[in-house]
Structures are given as structure tokens and as C-alpha cells.
Amino acid sequence: MLKFTASSLILASLVVSTPSWSADINTYASLSKDVKKQQARGVLQAGQTAEIAAGMSGRLLRADYKPGQSFQSGALLARFDCTRQDAELTALDQAHKTLTAKYENTSELFNLGAAGQLDVTIASSEMQQAAAERNALKARLKDCSVYAPYAGYITERHVSAFETPQVGQPLYSIQRIGTLELSVIAPSKWMRWMKVGQKFNFTVDETGETFKAKIIRTGASVDPVSQTIELTAKPTSKTKSLAGMSGIAYFGSRS
């Protein structure tokens, strides 16, 4: 008959449980070690860009800004020659004044019984039509001057002064100041420990500059072929780097 003592049962229990416990510790240690060593490639992108297009067709008088130049919000980026439109507006102003006087005179005659209701209605309609045409031209004249929607930089100029761009043709490509973002392509398995708000350091290849950043959102899906996911981050410290520069994101102990 086999006999089991208390000490032998404890020893047996340790022999059975130790490999599992040891494997868990090794897995945790390996994961922790991996997290400290994690790094991935990333690229700086402009947080907000825009194509400034022509709202009218005409000859450009001014398109002074060149690539790399900065501008303030509301700065005049381009100016079209609107001499003909200005003359048309003057003519419409005069026509509206004339038709307004005609309407007022017809209304007085109606009150005196010297004009009919139809005469008043026609005079009123003519006056309102002239006002509508004048207002429509005023709206089009706003396209004569192109102003910056925000403070930023010119990344590309597509036209020059005295050219005649068509409606919808790009004039400038611009980038807003202070809205750089980082796009980091990381292995999808990082999602086990990666989270929004996680901080890291980013070193730029072109300049050697290192700045701090944090994740602001993760991709909505994983690439099934490469098993990677896109992480979007923003710098949390000042940087002189430019959009388009690339580098390495360091996670863990270096962050």
C-alpha cells in the first residue's frame, strides 16, 4: 500500500505547479522586455491642408506668395483683375436707383388715382430685379480677392501673376501652422498594451531632433496582409521638423 506524507504532497504540488507558474513569469518578463524595446517607423504629416482654388475666371494681378512663405489669417493671397465687373456694378447701382425712383413715383400716382395697381406692381418688380442682379454681382466680386482662411505656410504655388486661371483651378496648396501629426505603422499585436494617450519619443531622420509625442487615436482596422495598424499621434513638445520628414518612434523605457 502506498503512503503519502504531508511533505510529499506539498512537493508533488510544487512539481506540478512550478512549470506553469514559471512559464507565466517568463511570458510576462518577455512581454515587458519587448515593450521596452519597441520601436516603429513613422512620418510627420500636416494636420490640416487645403487647396486654394480660383472662384472665378480672370487675369491675376497678384499672386505674391512663394513656397515656404508663411502668412497670417486673412492675408491677401491673390487678386484678380475685376475692372469690368466693377464697371458692371456701377451700372447696376444706377439702374437700381432709377427703378427705385420710378417705383416711388408710380406709388404716389397710384395714391392720387393717376396710376393703376398693375403699374405699381410692375415698377416694384423691376426695382427688385435690379436689386437682385446687383447683389448677385456683389457676391461674385468677392471672388476677386483670395484671402487666407487661417495662418499657415505655402507648400506649393500653382499660378503666377498675369496668368488667367479658370474657375476651380488651384492657386495655392497651403498648410496650417502648428497642426503636425505623426503616422506610425505598428504591429497589430501591440494592441495588447498600446492605448490612446500613451507617450513616446520620436527621433527625426533628417535632423536628428527628438521630441515627445502621444497617441491620439488608433486605426479602425488591421491590415490583414502585413498585420499592422496605423497609430496617429501628436507632438507634445516643440519641434522644428516639417511635414514629410520621417523617423523612429521609441516606446517603453526611452519614453
* Across 198-204, average pLDDT: 94
Q: How do the domains of the chain map onto residue ranges?
A: 60-176
- Strand-strand pairing, 152-157 and 39-46: unpaired
CB burial class (10 A; 0-12, 13-18, 19+) of residue 174?
buried
Per-residue pLDDT tens digits for 165-177: 999 999 999 999 8
- Residue 219 to residue 186: CA distance in whole angstroms: 10
* pLDDT over threshold 90, residue 8: no
- Residue 193 to residue 24: CA distance in whole angstroms: 17
The per-residue pLDDT for 243 is: 87
The per-residue pLDDT for 254 is: 43
How big is the CA angle at 192 (ends 186 and 193), to the nearest 5 degrees? Answer: 80
Residue 37 — pLDDT band, cuts 50, 70, 90? low
- Residue 111 to residue 116: CA distance in whole angstroms: 9
The per-residue pLDDT for 23 is: 39
> Are the CB atoms for 199 and 236 separated by under 8 Å?
yes
How much is the pTM? 0.67
The per-residue pLDDT for 122 is: 94
Task: Tell me what the pLDDT averaged over the chain comes to.
Answer: 85
